[in-house]
Structure 1
């Protein structure tokens, strides 16, 4: 099994798809959104994080005459994206308290175009693929750092795969995947851990894949959905009996027909790529994206939030209400009324777009009998993570150069009693944000390990836990010059087994209860990364541009779950 990167789509997206008749959506060309005769609508966006800001931005492009109100319960915009400058001896350093970098790739196409539209390109800083932090990524198992491939030579690769305990089961598991039996026909979903155990080897799950899931979802690989998190591999096994055989057959067929080889792609992704081909990136920016591993901004990832917010504030049709908690949503009339938004100053909106955590939204939509109208959304679970930032004046504390390391579930408790998820070497991972040398490290604690906890560590306790991890794993015992710990409650929704089916049920419940006037988008549904959220915001804005709630088509933001993952093979077949 191999996870394929879509970064190559930045080179020439047209060569990966054909002029398929279904690939026909067009960006910002909905006549209803621009006609002066269309009635002005009131649109609410719940949540002022990156998804909410991107939603308002893209909706304002699709429907420039309409009024948009952003409701944010907290005192600041940006949600989990939060960068702060901290004064330290000799200068200042940047701490990222949530997401810290962006990655080129499929959904990253939308983010890249957004950055260009906002005039942010001069502030972008890149970590090239040749940098140590791009080449050196580690897992910790069972009591030492293990560098992940690729390596400098095939001999080194063979030696590491044969000798390193973390890689046990990988070689024969991958080569033997093609001979494994196909899943039962009645199996509609399973955990990612179960899926890879069936196709490869459970040791690979425990030692490697569980670490990856700690880094992305802070989640339990034995609970997360294979169909949702590895949809292409799930599809290939179902169609060809094996993911390896499926990729081989697809590439062989396309070579024979003269098409470029490649992996299957979701139809909605193919649609998006074809649209974005018309919006060219600046050549130098495009080249830099092709050559980088990750990128961010000189003043932190919050620059993206700030520029979006500036764009909102300069638009007279957009208003932002901070420190405003929405306490309820109720449809006034299915035929012609809007949605009543309950807060300190209640108002009625023609359509509401929620970027809130799905369980939070479900608890806002209460029927007259006191029950939620959206029970499927209330079933989504989210994990809590503590992010601990530490700065040391000594610039040579780290034993290795690299991006950092993740901790798999198979690490013995004695090696990880603090229940850490991973450690990021910030001073290596993203250079050019600090004015002083030193060593900057972020330790991530909690996630699924803290499920069921009634109380969480205090800031002081979290810092002490992070220092214990660094002392045990990296032999770093110096006291940090500055340390900060931030607890993010319910920050990462978990796409557990059955996520797709729950979203189909949620679509039906949204359609029935609100008739298309309440739509949902964000990390609870189609991806937890920044790129995922920006892409989803753009998608939902396009639907609003089509004015579907007036045309009688009750969209919900979850409509694409109904197609059960519609795939396009390379060449558009």
Structure 2
């Protein structure tokens, strides 16, 4: 190592890896940090590109505003003035042949108000009657983790799951409620499942507990969430190396050895500590020799693929300008588009660049729908255009389009996920100088990823500086 400087290598240059590097540098005065990213750019699924001359996100377009970690990081790296709030969050469900408003008071699709649910028109009369039975049914006993569908179907029936909960969770995970974990994806509902008889009443309590003056749920950046990774990378002071694929990880007497690059020209990198910030399959391969128990559990985390089709239309192409943030589509309706977002309506700052332009994005692909994603870009654009003709009455061709594919992009939090993560962390904990972070563990959103990064950095700093003096430096820097 260079003098008395300790060297930490972060494997993975997505937002989790970059945030880990930033947090390491705040606490380590004599710390050298290197980030190794296999792709040609940092940022992972945070990426902005120009469509019709406007910079728009083609990956994650927002982060939770009511959870602090993402906003705090943006402010610490100089992007505080670029935080923007949505112009509208009023979304709809496209089901049973029409766009129908999301019922007020719902909690991740679980209704809390039967009258609002009836007015939305999302459920059939039979579906409404079945949902209402929740008020008189005996308690549904839940002692262990179960699937989202298993519990909510038992309480409210098929239609609530299929036409409300599934599209909302599908928008986040691109997954299936029959497999997604209630504990991991809907923790407050999971608590209610163990303590309350009526899910309808519990959802009402959850909705009532939501802060009334907290502002919008989401926020973004004026240049897109894709601008966050570069800002974090620059502010971290770490050495950022792209196009460097790590192939092996081995313990050494004093730390860790990484082997990167092509097999014909391998590069060996020595480190005192390592943070693994790559998706679960890649993490599993790296840990297979040294931490096989963690590797085996990581290998069981499945991933869903999806594509985002971004379209730019002249405003006059719409008979009526879009008025909401977009809509979700239940899988039971059999449409290839699972969601549409009216980006320039949801985010007014995008419309300022060209007020005569309507920017929108269509999401395609759920778990098990790989066949539709095998179509070429032109076919995916055609699907999105046909959707806009049918649903919005669009009467012109788009000025520009972009297809962005996220193969294996979304980890599935299936039944037992929290126990699996606990086993992964327990197995990794016996390896000094090793930490894990990213979307595979505690949440897919940016704040959750940043939180895992901060925890991973703290673990490494504790290992390198067990006196705890790094914490004082971190506190003074972040508060300053």
What's the TM-score bracket when you normalise by the shorter of the two chains? 0.7 to 0.9
1:138 matched to 2:81? The reply is: no
Residue aligning to 2:69: 110
Q: Which moved more, 1:491-500 or 1:465-474?
A: 465-474
Corresponding residue for residue 417 of structure 2: 499
- Whole-angstrom CA distance in 1 between matches of 2:4 and 2:100: 61
CA drift of 1:170 comes to 5.3
* TM-superposition CA deviations, 1:412-433 (whole Å, max 9, x none): x3xx1xx221000111010113
**Partner residue of 2:437?**
521
- Asked if the contact 2:104–2:116 (Cα under 8 Å) also holds between the matched residues in 1, the reply is no
Query: Which residue in 1 is equivalent to 2:401?
Result: 483
- Indicate if the aligned counterparts of 2:64 and 2:70 stay in contact, CA closer than 8 A: no
In 1: Cα distance, 2:12 partner to 2:120 partner: 49
Tell me the distance in 2 between the aligned counterparts of 1:232 and 1:178. Answer: 21
> d(CA) in 1 for partners of 2:309 and 2:24?
36
Find the partner of 1:181 among 110, 120, 139: 139
Q: Secondary structure at the match of 2:349?
A: coil
- Report SS of the residue matched to 2:348: coil
After TM superposition, give the deviation of residue 121 of structure 1 in Å. 2.2
1:440 correspondence with 2:359: yes
Q: Is the 8 A contact 1:124 1:298 kept in 2?
A: yes
Q: Distance in 1 between matches of 2:225 and 2:204?
A: 39
- Corresponding residue to 1:310 among 234, 238, 242: 234
Q: List aligned pairs for 1:158-307, cutoff 5 A.
A: 158=115, 161=118, 164-166=121-123, 169=127, 173=131, 176-177=134-135, 179-183=137-141, 185=143, 188-240=144-196, 262=209, 290-307=214-231
* TM-score normalised by L of structure 2: 0.84
Q: Quick one: distance in 1 between partners of 2:116 and 2:79?
A: 44
Gaps in structure 1 of 5+ consecutive residues: 1-37, 252-260, 264-286, 552-573
Q: What is the 5 A alignment of 1:540-551?
A: 540-547=456-463
List per-residue Cα deviations over 1:264-288 (Å, max 9, x = no partner).
xxxxxxxxxxxxxxxxxxxxxxx9x
For 1:366 and 1:393, the matched residues in 2 are separated by: 52
**Where does residue 11 of structure 1 map in the other structure?**
none
| Residues 536 and 167 of structure 1, relative CA distance in 2, 3 Å threshold | farther
Q: Secondary structure at the match of 1:327?
A: strand
Q: Give distance in 1, aligned partners of 2:376 and 2:203.
A: 48
**Unaligned regions of 5+ residues in structure 2, if any?**
106-112, 262-266, 468-480
SS of equivalent to 1:48: coil
Report how far residue 118 of structure 1 moved: 2.1
Task: Give 1:322's aligned residue.
Answer: 242
Aligned twin of 1:126:
85
Deviation at 1:202, TM superposition (A): 2.2
**1:66: which partner in 2?**
31
Contact residue 294 and residue 427 of structure 2 kept, 8 A? yes
Cα pair 1:149 1:157 within 8 Å, conserved: no
Give per-residue Cα distances to partners, 1:453-506, cap 9 Å, x unaligned. 597222112111211222222222421110110111111101011212222332
User: Of 61, 67, 88, which aligns to 1:100?
Assistant: 61
Q: Is the 8 A contact 2:309 2:401 kept in 1?
A: yes
Structure 2 match to 1:428: 345
2-structure distance, mates of 1:162, 1:407: 18
Question: 2-side partners of 1:53 and 1:103: how far apart?
Answer: 19
**RMSD (Å), alpha carbons:** 3.2
Instruction: Tell me how many residue pairs correspond in the alignment.
Output: 448
**1:454/1:386 CA distance change after superposition, 3 Å:** closer
Partner of 1:352 in structure 2? Answer: 274
Runs of 4+ deviating beyond 6 Å? 244-251, 370-373, 548-551
Q: State the 1:250 CA deviation.
A: 11
TM-score normalized by the length of structure 1 = 0.71
Quote how far apart the aligned CAs of 1:293 are.
4.6
State the SS of the aligned residue for 1:447.
Answer: coil
Contact 1:49/1:79 (CA < 8 Å) preserved in 2? Answer: yes
* Corresponding position of 1:45: 10
8 Å contact kept, 1:142–1:410:
no
CA distance in structure 2 between the aligned counterparts of 1:543 and 1:119, rounded to whole angstroms: 26
Q: 1:214 offset after TM fit, Å?
A: 1.7
- Kindly state the Cα deviation for residue 206 of structure 1 after the two structures are TM-superposed: 0.4
**Partners of 2:188 and 2:224 in 1: CA distance:** 33
Shift in alpha-carbon separation, 1:199–1:424, aligned structure 2, 3 A: same
